Amino acid sequence: MTDDPEAFAAGWAEAARSRVAAAKVGPQTRQIGRVEEVADGIAMISGLPEARLDELLAFADGRFGFAQVLEEDRVGCVLLDDLSGIEAGDVVSGTGDVVRVPVGEGLLGRVVDPLGRPLDGKGPIAAETRMPIERPAPAIVERDAVTRPVQTGILVLDTLFALGRGQRELIIGDRATGKTTVAIDAIISQTASDIISVYVAIGQKSASTRRAIEAIRAHGVPERTIVVVASPADAPGLQWIAPFAGFTMAEYFRDRGQHALVVLDDLSKHAATHREIALLTRQSPGREAYPGDVFYLHARLLERAAMLSAEMGGGSLTALPIAETDAGNLSAYIPTNLISITDGQIVLDSRLFNEGQKPAVDVGTSVSRVGGKTQAHALREAAETMRLDYAQFLELEMFTRFGGLSDQRVKARLTRGERIRAILSQRPYHPFRLVEEVALVTAVQAGLADALPAEKIGDLRQAIAGGIDRAAPEAVRQIEAEGTLDEAGHKALRDALAVMIGRSAPPPEADR
């Protein structure tokens, strides 16, 4: 500060004149809308003629919604929070932005809502940035072939319906047939992999969501898992954006060259929410009262799952959407839509579930359109004829109900099929390692377990899990390091299994 008062006053005046000259003086416009009516999570707004589709709209009390329907004189806005406190006549303004969610490693290990707000009481989210929930799917030239496996740890899936990184595999079945359990097992199985998991609960009961979270924390790696929860009590808009938010959170890792797995539980409830919003905003109903864009809704979502090319970083995003059927009707509107979008489906059958076959996978109607290209070579070689053998067994079993068969070949096929069914039965939340899967399949397909009673297969599973590393260390090393087995490894594995089962291994010619 100068000692000369006149010089100080002159400097202050000059600075003030500079600030005034730099100020932008002139008329400013701001579009203001008014709420005309509000109910059931939907607000009809007038006075926003330049609002864009999916634009984020701000209410006077700090709440938000997004523009879902643009009419000539009104905007249909879907609220992202409950509507308490919002009344007709309230001021609404456009933000010029779209709905964004936080992304980054700060979300790992957290339970959040679809807007990224914490639900686990562990404090605020340390997000690296915010990304739009609606993002374009990778172009064809940006994708690579799906050839790398996603080990689910579920024997029936890994052997018969292999899942690849970048694939979209639908899990479908009636209510309470174990759909969520299969998906959670796939997440738990990533304990030893480099895949980051995102579980999205859409309109699920709080008790079901709590069980899923507890299973991940007890058996999986929660620090590499993100859980996104939109409960039935949340606003329809929050449930609607949930799968899109989950994909955006996973895409952050995919775009950095990492690998992610997204479970959407489930898209049937998401479709019902979309129908609810469409009817409340007076859109034209179509088949089963769903709007005409319900197919596009899920197509643009699931197309974001991809295996990126090396030029794009080589990351992948795998999707496991879940859908619910009514009385096993796969030809209903939403199931047929999702089946046509995805790269295969895992069908769970209520009859098998009630008979105690868990996971209750119907091998006749389930399919993976990627096939064995993604399987580890050792597992593909061991299970080469397993699906055919099991299908023949199921047909023979049906015929033998009408009377006994004396043909020894038929009896041998029935014996083999019973052992296959026994090893395909698996406890929930106890996924197998790849080496354990190869050992189990080899024991059955090589005929080593034919003399073992079917009820003793459970003991064999425990013996393999606890002793295969010591009994055949070189075979285990080859499978874990390369996914393959040479002749010496095959022989060492068969010899070890023969000792565990209590009989000598057959010669290599008998295996063929």
Q: Which pLDDT tens digit goes with each residue over 252-303?
A: 999 999 999 999 998 999 999 999 999 999 888 999 999 999 999 999 999 9
- Residue pair 348/171 in contact (Cβ under 8 Å)? The answer is yes
Instruction: State the pLDDT at residue 504.
Output: 36
487 within some domain = yes
Instruction: State the pLDDT at residue 103.
Output: 96
Residues 448 and 478 in one domain: yes
Give me the residue label for tokens 């087995």: 485
Q: Which two tokens stand for residue 442?
A: 């080899």
Kindly tell me the sign of the dihedral angle through the C-alpha atoms of 176, 180, 182, 184.
negative
Residues 70 and 163 in one domain: no
342 vs 32, more confident: 342
Cα 36 → chain centroid = 39
Dihedral through CA 413, CA 416, CA 422, CA 424, nearest 10? -90
Fill in the amino acid letter for 464.
Answer: I
pLDDT in tens, 223-244: 999 999 999 999 999 999 999 9
Cα separation, 157 vs 177, in Å, equals 16
To the nearest 10 degrees (0 to 180), the angle between helices 473-482 and 434-445 is: 120
Instruction: State the pLDDT at residue 465.
Output: 85
* Whole-number average pLDDT of the chain: 89
The catalytically annotated residue of 369, 413, 419, 503 is: 369
Its pTM stands at: 0.89
Across 421-438, b (16+ Cβ under 10 Å) vs e yields bbbbbbebbebbbbbbbb
Residues 369 and 390 in one domain: no
Task: Among 359, 375, 391, identify where a domain stops.
Answer: 375
On the CB side of 179, CA atoms within 13 Å amount to 29
24 within some domain = no
Instruction: State the pLDDT at residue 36.
Output: 92
400 within some domain = yes
466 within some domain = yes
pLDDT in tens, 428-464: 998 999 999 999 999 998 888 888 888 888 888 888 8
Instruction: State the pLDDT at residue 262.
Output: 98
Residues 89 and 142 in one domain: no
193 within some domain = yes
CATH no. for residue 65? 2.40.30.20
Query: What average pLDDT does the segment 377-394 reach?
Result: 89
From 192-196, 309-313, 466-470, the region with the lowest mean pLDDT: 466-470
375 vs 321, more confident: 321
- Residue pair 465/457 in contact (Cβ under 8 Å)? The answer is no
Residues 169 and 68 in one domain: no
pLDDT in tens, 112-158: 999 999 999 999 998 889 999 999 999 999 999 999 999 999 999 99
Residues 332 and 367 in one domain: yes
51: DSSP letter: -
Cα 167 → chain centroid = 10
Residues 178 and 134 in one domain: yes
Q: How many other C-beta atoms can be found within 10 angstroms of the C-beta atom of residue 44?
A: 19
- Residue pair 389/421 in contact (Cβ under 8 Å)? The answer is no
Query: In the structure, what pLDDT confidence band is assigned to residue 511 with cuts at 50, 70 and 90?
Result: very low
Instruction: State the pLDDT at residue 25.
Output: 67
Q: Which two tokens stand for residue 417?
A: 């099929």
18 within some domain = no
Q: Range of 72's domain?
A: 32-97
Residues 86 and 106 in one domain: no
Q: Which residues make Cβ contacts (< 8 Å) with residue 233, sequence separation at least 6?
A: none
Task: Among 44, 62, 97, identify where a domain stops.
Answer: 97
Q: Which residues make Cβ contacts (< 8 Å) with residue 117, sequence separation at least 6?
A: 125
> According to DSSP H, which parts of 303-433 are helical?
333-341, 350-354, 377-382, 386-400, 408-424
Task: Sort strands 111-112 and 225-230 into parallel, antiparallel or unpaired.
Answer: parallel
Instruction: Please indicate whether residue 369 is annotated as part of the active site.
Output: yes
Instruction: State the pLDDT at residue 436.
Output: 92
Cα separation, 304 vs 170, in Å, equals 15
27 within some domain = no
Residues 246 and 113 in one domain: yes
With H, G, I as helix, E, B as strand and everything else as coil, classify residue 97.
Answer: strand
Residues 123 and 246 in one domain: yes
Instruction: State the pLDDT at residue 26.
Output: 66
Per the DSSP assignment, residues forming a β-bridge with 291 are 285
Q: Which two tokens stand for residue 280?
A: 């409340």
Cα separation, 82 vs 113, in Å, equals 14
In the chain, the number of structural domains is 3
Q: Give me the DSSP letters along 465-510.
A: HHHHHHHSHHHHHHHHHHS---HHHHHHHHHHHHHHHTSPPPPHHH
284 within some domain = yes
Residues 166 and 224 in one domain: yes
Residues 107 and 252 in one domain: yes
Residue 350 Cα distances to 12, 196, 290, 347, 358, angstroms = 83, 31, 27, 10, 10
* pLDDT surpassing 50 at residue 506: no
Task: Among 76, 97, 118, identify where a domain stops.
Answer: 97
